[in-house]
Amino acid sequence: MRILHPSITGNTESTYTSTNAPITATITNKSGIESAKVVYRVDGGQWNEVSLTAGSDNSFNGEIPTSTITSYYETFTTVEYYISATSNNGKTITKPMPAAQGGYYTFYLGHNPAAGINSVDEQRFGQFYPNPANNIANIEISLKGDESYEVMIVDLMGRIAHCSTLNASGDIIYNVNTSKLSSGIYNVVFQNKNERVVRRLVVK
């Protein structure tokens, strides 16, 4: 089974505050598709589901109801989502993987000033899993070569809870010890002279 989806990522400003965010996917399988849905959450809250409707040429369409979402914070609201599809022979896959364990697309209603990277670079950084986390949170990162990043864990008041340096190359799994952090929502910032990447992390 295969899912092709033009993802929504990064700052969307006011685009989806008065209208819903459209979700379109092309889903194929030899046995056919029984059902498809988009699963989303707001600011690290509970996951919600919206069914996708089958169209022509293996297309499935739906909407994340962003027009009904109230912004909890002054500058932006974070929306995370993934697509799940089940074939007629009972196989279920998600896009991206592994979905609720940390693989999902992220976009912002409003403007997150720390999200100033393009979609190509964004794909090099995964999402934290498990998320929310109790003791350890992991994130998969694909580095081009020997790269160095300053890593800052920042709470929603802008206070830096932890700062360290990441020096690595290739495909890695970066770990954050969340047992030393207070419960709450954090932005984890990976920054060097060329780019700034932000991932949301919820600590139980």
Residue 118 is predicted with a pLDDT of 45
pLDDT band at 71 (very low <50, low <70, confident <90, very high): low
> What is the per-residue pLDDT for 119?
43
How many angstroms separate the CA atoms of 84 and 82, rounded? 7
- Helix or strand or coil: residue 141? strand
CA distance 63 to 183: 31
Whether the per-residue pLDDT at 191 is higher than 90: the answer is no
**Which residues does 75 contact at the CB level (< 8 Å), separation at least 6?**
110, 111, 112, 113
Average pLDDT in the chain = 85
Q: What is the pLDDT of residue 116?
A: 54
* pLDDT tens by residue, 82-130: 999 999 999 999 988 654 445 788 888 887 766 654 444 556 888 899 9
- The verdict on pTM exceeding 0.85 is no
80: its two tokens:
């995370």
At residue 28, the pLDDT reads: 95
Q: Which two tokens stand for residue 1?
A: 């089974």
9 neighbors 105 (Cβ within 8 angstroms): yes
What are the structural domains, with CATH classification, of the chain? 2-110 (2.60.40.10), 119-203 (2.60.40.3080)
